Amino acid sequence: MPHPNAFLHLPELQGRLTPAHASGLRLTDEALAEWDAQARNQGLPAHWRLPDSEVERSRRDVLATITTQSLDLWVFAYGSLMWNPGFHFDEVRRAHLPGYARRFALGTTIGRGTPDCPGLVLTLEPDASQTCEGLAFRIPAPLVGAESRLLWRREMIAGAYCPALLPLPTPQGTVQALVLVANPRHPLHRGDLSMQATAATIARACGRIGSNRDYLDQLVRQLEVLGMEDGYVDALHALVALIEPSP
């Protein structure tokens, strides 16, 4: 259960986040084995995900740079973490990251798509003219080890992000937070897609955890609850609405 005061700053989020115990994206050993089985059924290669040792090395390297005395871990949420964090936390705040834009620029062949019909999920693209609004979750120090392992498995399963600890402004002060930004060298990075091509992909793709369209819809709903504006997301949502879903 979240800390009793976890929603002190954002009471409107109570009841609007998937509890950690109910999250299908909390990649325990058992859950990861199910994903591996699904990948085999879909014909994905054995190396469809990074080896556990590489994921763990990335986690340790990044967490070793935490400089705050409390050793809590703040996590910046700008996509599915905004409604389904999948980890236990003691506090959530509004947050904004200057110099980055939220974009559907990461291909997926298992979560929200398949090898035959890949989907797209969010990443952060550098853009000096933009600021990405989202949430900051605080994982308390005693839980950082266990919870960060599950988070790294989820987000770094294909090595498609560049995780880093960056200064993250919040209304209650700036924190040092884990931020997952785009890895443009990754083969699944799709930063060259037009808005029309992006919308067409999202409208039709569907994977193990649901449709790509539903992912976008959930993002739109959570941004509305929080009163956050994102012109790119709104424009994309309008385009997708004009496309008939796949039968």
**Phi then psi dihedrals of residue 196, to 5 deg:** -65, -45
Q: Going residue by residue through the chain (247 aa), what tens digit of pLDDT does each one get? A: 667 799 999 999 999 999 999 999 999 999 999 999 988 988 888 888 999 999 999 999 999 988 777 899 999 999 999 999 999 999 999 999 999 999 999 999 988 999 999 999 999 999 999 999 999 999 999 999 999 999 999 999 999 999 999 999 999 999 999 999 999 999 999 999 999 999 999 999 998 899 999 999 999 999 999 999 999 999 999 999 999 876 6
30 included as an active-site residue: no
Query: Under a CB-based contact definition with an 8 Å cutoff, are residues 136 and 77 in contact?
Result: yes
Element spanning 144, H or E: helix 141-155
Number of residues in the chain? 247
CA 233: distance to chain centroid? 15
Torsion 239-241-242-247 (CA) sign:
positive
> What pTM was computed for the model?
0.95
Query: Under a CB-based contact definition with an 8 Å cutoff, are residues 165 and 179 in contact?
Result: yes
Strand partners, 138: 74, 91
Choosing from 125, 133, 155, 229, the catalytic residue is 155
User: Mind listing the domains of the chain with CATH numbers?
Assistant: 11-110+121-185 (3.10.490.10)
**Furthest-apart CA atoms within the chain: distance in Å:** 54
